[in-house]
Every structure is written in C-alpha cells, then in structure tokens.
Structure 1
Amino acid sequence: MTGRLAVVSGGATGIGAATAAALAEDGYDIIVVGRRADLLKEAADRIGAGCGRPDAVEAVAADLTDPAQLAPVVAAVGDRRVDVVVNNAGGYLGGDQSTLEGVAAQWRANLDSNVLTAVLLTEALRPALRRPGGRVILLSSIAALRGGGGPYSAAKAALHGWAYDLAQQLGPEEITVNVVAPGYVADTEFFDGRMTPEGHQRRIDATLVGRAGEPADIAAAVRYLAGPSAGYVTGQVLGVNGGSVLGR
C-alpha cells in the first residue's frame, strides 16, 4: 500500500479515528479532517505512533459545511492521488422545534452536517481520486433504515440516494461508492451525555448478538470496502448493526 492516501472526515474521535487507525495499519497515508484542531492533532499523533509511521498522518482543521474551507484539504492532498475518501463527519443536531423557524434551522443544520459535508469533500477531491481503483465510502446510520431520528434519519437516508447516483457516475472509471450504516455504537460522542442506562440496555437487547457495537466494528467494514477485495462492490448499503435491522 506504499504511497496510497486516505482522507477521513470526522477523524478526531470515535468511528472516524478508529477508521483512520485501521487504514494506517494497512499502510495508507492518512489525512484526518475535522473542526476541532486540538483533538484532531491528538488523534493524528496517536494514530501515527500506533502504526509506527509518525509522519504518515496529517491533521487538517476545516468546517466541511463551508465551501471556502475545503481549500486546505485540497492543498494537503497536493498532487497525490486519493485512494479512499471516508465521509464520516456528521451527527444528530437538536434544536428548538416549538416554531417553524426552529424546525427549519434544525433540519438545515442536520442536512448541512451529514449531507453537505460529504458532498463538498467528495466533490473537492473528485479530480484527485485514483482512476481506476478509487473508493468513496459514506457513513450513514441505522436511523436511515428504520427512522427514529427525525431530520437526522432523513439526512442519512439522503446519503443513500446520492451514493447510488455517484456510483453510477464513477463506476465507468472503476471507482466504487458504498455506504456503511452503523447500528448502536456505544463508545462515541453521538449521544453526548443523553444516553441512559435503560436506553443503552434497550439498544443492546434489540440486537441479535447481545452487545453494543464498537468503533472497531465499523472500521472493519470500511477497511473491507476500501481494500482490493471489494472492487466488485459498489452502490451498496452495508448494515453493521448486530442484527437489530435485518438486511433487505
């Protein structure tokens, strides 16, 4: 994998950091992108040390909802080919739903955070994608398949339709586009203190395997889709949820 490059958004913590670490172990150079420069730098240093290549992991702070902030990411790539783009940035954003203005603000925030970030990063790096062999991977959610998250569910579901379009566009160039839809993953910032012990147990009980997911479970799925064994897999949504939602 010498000389191969992966760009991971939302790479400072949780699933993004675990994915970046897994790809670094596979020999990719990594660019982790996120809004929080301090956490991003810590993650880059930790991942670089963990894979024994301290200079292989670079942190770029950027708000991917702002087109003007994509320039530093493109500059970090430079004249290299991008082998893998992992669009992991996003999350559930709450808001005041007591007024139409509040509803509109919450929906826009969730669409920007979960959809626009992926679209802008992918489009910014699209000219640099390796042809043939590039990989675009989107992180969705079980909420896109079964609902339950309001604007967050809708935003994640929107990624599926866009992924199908993008797969058709990039397929002739032998670039694959796939979605990973995680179920309940306990060790992340997603619930941000909102999870109760009862909610945690209820989500575990909904699985067939009797446990919560871990960031490493999701990273393993991304690792597969990023690798050479998945060259014939494109336009797919891969559920990684312990059986809490069955395949369709």
Structure 2
Amino acid sequence: MQAQSGAHTAGGPLAGRTALVTGASRGIGRGIAERLASDGALVVVHYGQNTAAAHDVVTAIRAAGGNAFPLQTLLGATGDAQALYTALDSELARRGLEPGFDILVNNAGVSGSARIHEVTPELIDKIFSVNVKALLFVIQEGLTRMRDGGRIINISSAATRIAYPKSVVYSMSKGAMETLTLALAKELGPRGITVNTVAPGFVATDMNAKLRTTPEEVADLARLSVFERIGAPVDIAGIVAFLASPDSQWITGQRLDATGGSQL
C-alpha cells in the first residue's frame, strides 16, 4: 500500500493509509474503526442513519489521538455506491487530502429472522439489497479509487459454517459474500490487492442484546465458544487490523473464522 501524504501524523502499521469502514457507528464496525485508527489509519466512519452515534465514534477516535471523519450514505438504495464515493471524494478534497483510499472494510449489513416457510420476497429484497447488491457495487466503485496494494475485508458470519435455519436468507446473503471474496481475490491479485472474509460468531453488541436478556441466555451463548465467553467487538477488530496491515500481504481469498472456536 502506498503512503498518502497529508492524511495524518500518527504512527503505527497503518500510518499514511486511509480506511473506509461501512456501518461503523456501532458494534463491530465501531470496534474496527477505533482499532484501525489506533494503528495509524485515517478512518472514514460510514453510517446510514445514526448521526449521533457516528459522531461519537469520531470524537472517541480523535480523543485517543487518532484521525477520522464521518460519512453518511444509506446503502440499499438506487445509486448508493456512487453517492458514497461522491461524498468521500468531496470530503477528502475539502480536507486537502489526496483522492483515493487503501482499505475497505465491508461491515454494513442487515439481518432478519425467518425460517424457510416464513421467507417473503420483501425479506429477500431487503437483505440482499444491502448484504449482496450494495456490497458488490461498493467494491466495484471503490476499485476505481483504491490504490494498488490495498485491502478489502468483508465481514461475514458463522452462519456460513454453522447451520442457522432461523435466518436462512441472511445466511444465504453471507454465503454470497464469501463467494464474491474468493472470485475477487483472484481478479485483484495482479494489483496486489488482497480480499479476505472475517466470519464472527456471537458478539455482544446492542443489535443482538435481545438474545442475552437473562443470565441463563448469557451462559448458553458463552458455552458456544471453547473459551466459554461471548465475543466482543475488539476480538473481531484485532483480526481485521491484521488483515489490513502489511503483514497480511500473503493472505488472500481466505475466510477467517472469528467465532472463538464455536461449536468445534
């Protein structure tokens, strides 16, 4: 990855790099944004609707000595990828920074519980419009701006390894993501761009708080992992940080299981 002049002065393995993290206003996305910033990257904190949460992430990053700015675009709508990068180009120019970026973390996604007999066309459209269609076009448009030697990191799910019939459409969408990862890794090899997937298991975030409302539910979820605890955003962020770093240059087209050894 080539250095970008004028982005920031922080040191670290990602100094001089610019990282775009989608869905970074909370949960796993926030953890990733904060970690990449602590490793020296200028982080673009993308969010869809929660402006207050996104600005809180940026404030926290700056307070810790990092550099970041928020960027709002609603994914899943027509022209979403173009709108995202038009806004990014404008923000970089406004800050006197070089165009382009080095790291793309595709974390934004939507879920929806439904067994096979409950699936509707509307649910398929809702989930696939963000988790698959927007994902593909965010990458496609981003490749016109990503510098050679860059990193693409897709956040998938344990549901592609562990059967999860309660959310069959969501599981399908993450399977599509992993297939795309494999194809792109070969496509982008000549540019030195690596493409990998990180597949978390159960992680304690506000999005899934309803699954751990009692001590018994918490204990059941903790027992899924060989470490007998629930995952945290920082656990996933560390893996992403490695894949974003120069040390991961010989890894591409891979799915990294980030479930804490769940259901081995």
Q: TM-score, normalised by structure 1?
A: 0.89
Q: Secondary structure at the match of 2:109?
A: coil
Instruction: Indicate whether 1:49 and 2:63 are aligned.
Output: yes
5+ residue gaps, structure 1: none
Q: Which moved more, 1:66-75 or 1:35-44?
A: 66-75
Which one-letter code corresponds to 1:47 in the other structure? I
Which one-letter code corresponds to 1:41 in the other structure? H
Give the equivalent residue in structure 2 for 1:32: 45
In 2, Cα distance between equivalents of 1:15 and 1:153: 18
Specify which of 144, 148, 155 is matched with residue 139 of structure 1.
155
Superposition map of 1:227-246 within 5 A: 227-246=245-264
Superposition map of 1:1-248 within 5 A: 1-36=14-49, 37-50=51-64, 52-53=65-66, 56-78=67-89, 79-94=98-113, 103-131=120-148, 133-148=149-164, 149-186=167-204, 188-197=205-214, 198-246=216-264
Aligned length: 239
Is the alpha carbon distance of 1:95 and 1:204 closer, same or farther for their aligned partners in structure 2, counting shifts above 3 Å?
A: closer
Contact 1:178 1:234 in 2 (8 A): yes
Which one-letter code corresponds to 2:125 in the other structure? R
In 2, Cα distance between equivalents of 1:38 and 1:11: 12
Q: Secondary structure at the match of 1:193?
A: helix
Residue 127 of structure 1, CA deviation: 0.9
Residue 45 of structure 1, CA deviation: 1.9
Contact 2:114 2:168 in 1 (8 A): no
Is the alpha carbon distance of 1:195 and 1:111 closer, same or farther for their aligned partners in structure 2, counting shifts above 3 Å?
A: farther
CA RMSD after TM alignment? 2.0
Structure 1 stretches (4+) deviating beyond 6 angstroms?
95-99
Q: Secondary structure at the match of 2:69?
A: strand
Contact 1:60 1:72 in 2 (8 A): no
Contact 2:81 2:134 in 1 (8 A): no
Deviations 1:48-77 (A, max 9, x none): 222x14xx3111111121242334431344
Deviations 1:200-230 (A, max 9, x none): 3222112111111000000000000000110
Q: TM-score, normalised by structure 2?
A: 0.84
Contact 1:176 1:233 in 2 (8 A): yes
Residue 194 of structure 1, CA deviation: 4.2
Contact 2:160 2:175 in 1 (8 A): yes
Q: Secondary structure at the match of 2:108?
A: coil
In 2, Cα distance between equivalents of 1:70 and 1:160: 20
Is the alpha carbon distance of 1:49 and 1:67 closer, same or farther for their aligned partners in structure 2, counting shifts above 3 Å?
A: farther
Q: Secondary structure at the match of 1:83?
A: strand
Residue 238 of structure 1, CA deviation: 0.3
Residue 145 of structure 1, CA deviation: 1.2
Is the alpha carbon distance of 1:58 and 1:72 closer, same or farther for their aligned partners in structure 2, counting shifts above 3 Å?
A: farther
Q: Percent identity?
A: 31
Q: Secondary structure at the match of 2:144?
A: helix
In 2, Cα distance between equivalents of 1:200 and 1:192: 10
In 2, Cα distance between equivalents of 1:151 and 1:145: 14
